[in-house]
Structure 1
Amino acid sequence: MGNVTRGWAMITALVMVTPLALAGCGGSGDKPEFVGASTQPTASPTPPAEPVVLAITPEAGAAKQPVSTEIGTTITGGKITDVTLTTEGVKVAGSLREDSSSWVPANPLKYGKKYDATVTATGTTGQVETKTTSFTTMTKPGSQIGSGLYLFDDKVYGVAMPVVVEFSPGIPKKDRAAVQRRMFVDTVPAQPGVWHWVDNGTQAYYRAPEYWQPETKLTVRIALEGIPLSNGRYGNVDRKATTKIGNRFEMKVDNATKQMTVFENGNLVRTMPVSLGKKATPSSSGTMVVMEKKESTVFDTSDDPNPANRYVTDIDFAQRLTWGGEYIHAAPWSVAQQGRTNVSHGCVNLSTPNARWLFEKTKTGDPVTVKGTERKLEDGNGWTAWNLTWAEFIKGSALPVPDALAAGNAPAGPTPSTGATPGA
């Protein structure tokens, strides 16, 4: 078992209601039933168009606004058709959220700058309503919260790779909904998902009901710079990544047989003997993902409180599964036990040839499922998003989850109520 330092890595249903044809009952004969009654239909008056009512925020003249400020919009009788934000005559890029509740700048605003916003709404018959406002942003705060995104541009990840965001210190519960609304994920093809917060608020994971489809494009923006928190801190930086999901590559380890079966795009491609953690230091049972890969490294457990677990060992083809130090790796010293008995300190031991072959095939984010050991995987000990059922996972969202998405039958499109991309 190694101890390696951690790195920072929307349905509107258009229902067309057809008026029912009303059948009239008439009297017999050639004359109307009521003599003198008009037989000509009376035209119904055209109802007046609903007036456009528009309100925007921030309030005109507002000062010391966070650089995470959005242009809030409330509209009845029409829809938002244009938002323009400028500073010193320069136009700021941005887009509306899917529900038109606000317009989100594409990048953090600048500290200590004046901004002018114009919002235009158009009614159902073409009437136009325009509102303007201006505000000034705050100076850069001294107290910030650190954050990290475990995705990098242009890298290919496995089908089980959750979007993982880390916070230091953790986000207080009362702030998580506001933070989650600023964490945007867009997938092509569309596979809406949900955010899940680990209990202490130091990590949040985003995933869909099922593994990502191979070749999915993921575009992520963790737009936290300047967002105010209740503990007096502010988000430190926006983090972005555009990346891709590769082929479906899965590893399954069964303690009963001491074998690892490897599947590529659903096909069994290899079976390999393993040795897992002995009873004193059992391997974790659950669904994990490859978090990190190192062709060679050193496992140093000199600070373990149990002297029997202290060692310094050179390791080849190491693939991290947990923060606690469980890996898949080459273990030439346990080849005789592989497939027969468990002798490791919690890791999945392979022969060097098997470990090398596996290392050359895997990607960060490939799923690894271990079953039948004496210990269950602890939530948050690694990227444990897939160790929960979908029903369990969505309970960790700080925002309401749409019914269709909660049922695992999400519409094809972004779901901003769960923190997805606004009009990407």
Structure 2
Amino acid sequence: MSRTRPSRIRRHTPLGRRGRSAAIAGAATLALALTACSGGSGSGSADMGADKNAKISVNLQGDKAKPGQPVKVTLAEDGKLADVTVTDNKGGKLAGKISGDGKSWTSDRAASPGTKYTVEAKDDQSRTAKQEFTTEAAGQVNKVTLAPGNKTTVGVAQPLSIVFDNPVKNKKDVEKHLKVTTSNGTEGSWGWIKDYSGKDRVDWRPKEYWKPGTDVKLAADLNGVNSGDGGGWFVRDYDTEFTIGKNQSVKVNLESKHLTLLQDGKEIKSVAMSAGTPGGEKASWGGVNVLMAKEGTIRMNSETVGLGDSYDKMVDYSMRLTWSGMYAHAAPWNASYFGNTNHSSGCVGMSDADAKWLYDTVQVGDPFVTEGSGHKGNADVGNGYGEWNLSWDQWQAKSALKGNTE
């Protein structure tokens, strides 16, 4: 859109115009300056000096505008809006739509805190206007941690997980701004839970395990969303994408004391192991636990998980299954129990060779399914990725939009 250069046009303001303009500015209305059409390279025509104005108003104004609401531009007299552009000082742009009658334009998203915006409008008579406003800064900012990592390949049980730094009271509003797209239209749902850390968390789980090869993308358009009392504002968007790898799972049989890897439902290999000692806190967690991370060689100290001074040692091929400390790993010190007795402090231990094989084969996001008697029940849903221990109806009920979550 071209503008007439000020050096080529002389504008004449009738008597009293300055006072009238001040009144208009005070009422948050804008004068749309008539765009001149110049014939030839000489000075502008007489019509170009005429005072012919249109008026628009913007709902947000000044240097302390309230964030969290859409920007609305309204044409205050005859004519229709032809184009409206709202840009921010960070290089972003608010998309929006002109109403059916052409009288107003509303942004699709809300204005973000602590941001300067420039509004430029054009009507159907080629008249233009420009206005700026700045929103109040956020008193408190909320941030998120996403899992899995961006552009990673994960197993069929891996949920999309978002942990919030601060509490989220406005769960419905936040969930509305979270969009998951998949390459094959996978059905799934968000569910709000309390993370093991005590923080608010929302996961997106498919109805059934993912299909291998599925591409998954998250667009968390949270910039300008208020998470509620005690949580603060989001001041940026987030996105991530990942791909589903091989269809494989691990079965931990507490009766046979063997661990079995399956790919596409077929048994690949079974190895002897020893799981948690039944009958107390040292028992293993049952149900479905998802491989969260392959941590390699780590120090395991029983005092950090509430088991006193039971152990303190370096452990190889460590594969985390819960936040509370259940792992599958090498446990050569327990070799006499492999295949015959569950006698560990809750983890699934095996020989160095078998642990190395499993560590090299499994993917983060693979389900580990613990079956048989002697476990201590299912871990809390936030103690790792425990959503697969809930029915589909139970999981959907945890959505702020589908269920009863406040």
Q: Does 1:155 align with 2:152?
A: yes
Q: Tell me, what secondary structure is at the counterpart of 1:335? A: helix
Q: Which whole-Å CA distance do the structure 1 matches of 2:264 and 2:177 have between them? A: 34
The aligned amino acid for 1:153 is N
Of structures 1 and 2, the one scoring higher in RCO (CA 8 A, sep 6+) is 1
Q: 1:83 to 1:180 in 2, by over 3 A?
A: farther
Q: Tell me, what secondary structure is at the counterpart of 1:198? A: strand
Residues 273-329 of structure 1 show CA distances to partners (whole Å, capped at 9, x for unaligned) of: 2211112311001111110111211112334555343x2211111111101000011
Match of 2:293 in 1: 292
Tell me how far 1:331 sits from its aligned partner.
0.7
Please, which of 376, 380, 383 is the counterpart of residue 382 of structure 2? 380
After TM superposition, the structure 1 = structure 2 runs for residues 195-344 of structure 1, keeping only pairs within 5 Å, are: 195-199=190-194, 202-232=200-230, 233-235=232-234, 237-279=236-278, 280=280, 281-303=282-304, 305-309=306-310, 311-344=311-344
Tell me how far 1:72 sits from its aligned partner.
8.8
Match of 2:393 in 1: 391
Match of 1:170 in 2: 167
Q: Tell me, what secondary structure is at the counterpart of 1:235? A: coil
Q: Which whole-Å CA distance do the structure 2 matches of 1:252 and 1:119 have between them? A: 65
Q: Which whole-Å CA distance do the structure 1 matches of 2:90 and 2:229 have between them? A: 35
The aligned amino acid for 1:162 is P
Tell me how far 1:374 sits from its aligned partner.
3.1
Q: 1:138 to 1:102 in 2, by over 3 A?
A: closer
Is the 8 Å Cα contact of residues 60 and 135 (structure 1) preserved in structure 2? no
Q: Tell me, what secondary structure is at the counterpart of 2:65? A: strand
Q: Which whole-Å CA distance do the structure 2 matches of 1:302 and 1:225 have between them? A: 41
After TM superposition, the structure 1 = structure 2 runs for residues 14-29 of structure 1, keeping only pairs within 5 Å, are: none
Match of 1:13 in 2: none
Q: Which whole-Å CA distance do the structure 2 matches of 1:133 and 1:383 have between them? A: 50
Q: 1:150 to 1:383 in 2, by over 3 A?
A: same
Q: Which whole-Å CA distance do the structure 1 matches of 2:130 and 2:346 have between them? A: 60
Runs of at least 4 residues off by over 6 Å: 88-91, 117-120, 132-135
Q: Which whole-Å CA distance do the structure 1 matches of 2:256 and 2:72 have between them? A: 59
Question: Structure 1-normalised TM-score?
Answer: 0.66
Q: Which whole-Å CA distance do the structure 1 matches of 2:272 and 2:312 have between them? A: 25
Q: Which whole-Å CA distance do the structure 2 matches of 1:112 and 1:70 have between them? A: 13
Please, which of 371, 395, 402 is the counterpart of residue 400 of structure 1? 402
Identity score, percent: 26
Larger Rg: 2
Q: Which whole-Å CA distance do the structure 2 matches of 1:255 and 1:167 have between them? A: 36
Is the 8 Å Cα contact of residues 60 and 134 (structure 1) preserved in structure 2? no
Q: Tell me, what secondary structure is at the counterpart of 2:354? A: helix
Is the 8 Å Cα contact of residues 251 and 368 (structure 1) preserved in structure 2? yes
Name the Cα RMSD after superposition: 3.4
After TM superposition, the structure 1 = structure 2 runs for residues 344-359 of structure 1, keeping only pairs within 5 Å, are: 344-359=344-359
Q: Which whole-Å CA distance do the structure 1 matches of 2:358 and 2:163 have between them? A: 28
Q: Which whole-Å CA distance do the structure 1 matches of 2:355 and 2:114 have between them? A: 51
Tell me how far 1:83 sits from its aligned partner.
8.1
Q: Tell me, what secondary structure is at the counterpart of 2:393? A: helix
Q: Tell me, what secondary structure is at the counterpart of 1:166? A: strand
Match of 2:108 in 1: 103
Q: Tell me, what secondary structure is at the counterpart of 1:141? A: coil
Q: 1:177 to 1:264 in 2, by over 3 A?
A: same
Tell me how many residue pairs correspond in the alignment.
Answer: 318
Is the 8 Å Cα contact of residues 302 and 309 (structure 2) preserved in structure 1? no
Q: Which whole-Å CA distance do the structure 1 matches of 2:180 and 2:349 have between them? A: 36
Q: Which whole-Å CA distance do the structure 2 matches of 1:345 and 1:89 have between them? A: 53
Residues 101-123 of structure 1 show CA distances to partners (whole Å, capped at 9, x for unaligned) of: 97348xx8583312438799xxx
Q: 1:350 to 1:398 in 2, by over 3 A?
A: same
